[in-house]
Amino acid sequence: MEYDLIVIGAGPGGYVAAIRAAQLGLKVACVEKEAALGGTCLRVGCIPSKALLESTERLHAAQHEFLSHGILATGVSVDLGLMMKRKDHVVATLTQGVAGLLKKNKITHFVGQAQIAGQGRVNVMQADGMTPLSATNVIIATGSHPVSLRGVELDGNRLGTSTEALSYPEIPQHLIVIGAGVIGLELGSVWKRLGSKVTVIEYHPRILPGMDADIAKDALKIFEKQGIEFRLGRKVTAARVEGETVVVEVENEGEIRGDRVLVAVGRKPNTEGLGLDVVEIQRDSQGRILVDVNYKTTAPGFFAIGDVIPGPMLAHKAEEEGVACVEFIVTGHAHVDYNTIPSVIYTHPEIASVGQTEEQLNAGGVKYRKGVFPFRGNGRAQALGDVVGKVKILADATTDRVLGVHIIGPRAGDLIAEATVSMAFGASSEDIARVCHAHPTLSETLKEAALAVEGRAIHQ
């Protein structure tokens, strides 16, 4: 069958690219090996983890916060099966929603493993045979999968990754998390709130490497107060399952025993079995497909976007690239501003950032001014009973242009949108400070932090 565009992979990168291409009038096929659409994000990533984070935050509120509101809720307990059922329902609603969107946009959806067969040619391998497809252009959006460590043989059960940790059949007594990155902290939080003892082992001497160090330091204190135990600066050398116990060997510490292990030490691109070498698509030393600024691979007519190419492995980054890639194919012009890709960690409190960290600015010799405002000084945060955290704005010392915004606090993931839009429009901290923000809202913390750059926050 002949198409204008074949998209391989129906995750946030692939399905968004397919829809944008259909909007622009292309005849599009989308090949996905899983029966459910939406990729890791919808099936076993962002969405199910957020469903569980929401449920367990409510549990925590019922157990520990209701009383302060004068609400007496006794006998609060958990039905894990029902909680998981709700999560599965959220996932099913969204994956079916994507199927509906493909249909509405007249995108032909093939279920099967895509294999590149030559220039402009892709074969779809199905249980009952093979369907050959051809197209002028092909976008590879096959995503990524969790990696493990040397000496750690995953068993897909007690010793697993985020996929297993989203569906444990019972609440672990002791969950050992390897890696204090985004996944380790989000899913560690879920099971801690459900009652597990949670020990996080991290190779670096700090949590969330790459994040603004001062915010990560605050986060560590908060998570420790929540009862999560951290072993920082520790290297896991091996892990094994012994019956119902999992034994983790930690350098200079010995063995730590638990009943489940979550390995969350990063992800790597899905390129196996795709036939990249058939058309000589080159990869870097980490297996990521090499692309130019317009997402062109080294093979004519083949493009790649999302987790399978360099850059942060984030659903929204993949979406932006999907749109830009298709617009480049159709119009010859496209652009993604990589400096304004926000990042959010959905723990409690949430952590969100956009732009550069203090470490990056210092390393680049950039002179900046800093405005910090604590949620404690915000009326809405007080009314919510959620006052832990702060907003930090970093602005160029000479031009006042906002270079980075880092937030730890209630709804930080939503608040970062204002910072992102401001930065995308090249705003100065004074621009943010002079914009009227509704009262009482959490967004006033951004205005106050912007005022604090000039040392004139009102409520501090």
Q: What are phi and psi of 92, to 5 degrees?
A: -60, -40
- Give the CB-nearest residue to ligand NAI: 181
Applying CB under 6 A, does 166 fall inside the site for ligand NAI?
no
Could you tell me the smallest distance in angstroms from the CB atom of residue 74 to ligand NAI? 34
Is 316 tagged catalytic?
no
Strand, coil or helix: what is 94? helix
End-to-end CA, the chain:
65
Strand, coil or helix: what is 272? coil
Applying CB under 6 A, does 177 fall inside the site for ligand NAI?
no
Applying CB under 6 A, does 231 fall inside the site for ligand NAI?
no
Residue from 179, 355, 371, 389 touching ligand NAI (CB under 6 A): that is 179
x-marked contacts with ligand NAI along 182-211 as a string, rule CB under 6 A: xxx-x--------------xxxx----x--
Q: Which residue, among 381, 369, 353, has the nearest Cα to 443 in the 3D structure?
A: 381
Segment near ligand NAI (CB under 6 A); pick from 96-104, 296-304, 340-348, 431-439: 340-348
Residue from 223, 295, 302, 346 touching ligand NAI (CB under 6 A): that is 346
- The DSSP string of 368-423 is EEEEEEEGGG-HHHHHHT----EEEEEEETTT-BEEEEEEEETTHHHHHHHHHHHH
Applying CB under 6 A, does 344 fall inside the site for ligand NAI?
yes
Tokens of 255: 């063995």
Asked if 165 contacts 87 with a C-beta cutoff of 8 angstroms, the reply is no
Kindly name the residue from 64, 69, 335, 439 that is annotated as catalytic. Answer: 439
E strand or H helix at 324: helix 315-331
Applying CB under 6 A, does 311 fall inside the site for ligand NAI?
no
| Residue 434 CB neighbour total at 10 angstroms | 12
Q: Which residue, among 63, 15, 69, has the nearest Cα to 40 in the 3D structure?
A: 15
- Beta carbon nearer to ligand NAI, 6 or 180: 180
Segment near ligand NAI (CB under 6 A); pick from 1-9, 52-60, 337-345, 388-396: 337-345
Applying CB under 6 A, does 53 fall inside the site for ligand NAI?
no
Applying CB under 6 A, does 266 fall inside the site for ligand NAI?
yes
In the complex, the residues that contact ligand NAI under the rule CB under 6 A are 149, 178-184, 186, 201-204, 209, 235-236, 264-267, 312-314, 343-346
